Structure 1
């Protein structure tokens, strides 16, 4: 079985990494989970405190698009952490790929061991 995996990588404004992580952990990730998104991993980079990643998995490309449309249009996101998150991002990049469930589980497990 393969799933669609989206990897978001952020270059944050200098010195904002710890605040960004706090906002993600306390506000944004709970909203992702509530919206039914599978958050595989998120956090700062080992090499730079102002680099960050968010990895999410979906059942299909149509599920990814529908989930995100609903999530980003929601009042909980727009009136919640959106402004605080966006204001700390300098550059955002994204890639989308198909991965097996075993690969997804390995990424999830590796994040817990860091």
Structure 2
């Protein structure tokens, strides 16, 4: 096992015990979903010029919140499952490779 593989196995062995959807959801929402939703809304209103309703209205706020909710669900679940499955696959493949070398 290389030092990088050993470091990853140690890291993921601890991280997988402490995995929390709440923490992942919060971090992903703050760092990815909210900026992307705001960027989409600002580009749509100011650059594309979608003036179907005033920028500060309840209809616009409701549409923004629905878009942010949908983006949040898709991005948080997608990144969570992808991250978990990738790291689990890598973790178990390293362990299998190491046990095969020992036999």
The question of a shared fold, defined as TM-score above 0.5 by the shorter chain, is answered with no
Q: Whose helix proportion is higher, 1 or 2?
A: 2
Q: Whose strand proportion is higher, 1 or 2?
A: 1
Mark the structure with the bigger radius of gyration.
2
TM-score by length of 2: 0.31
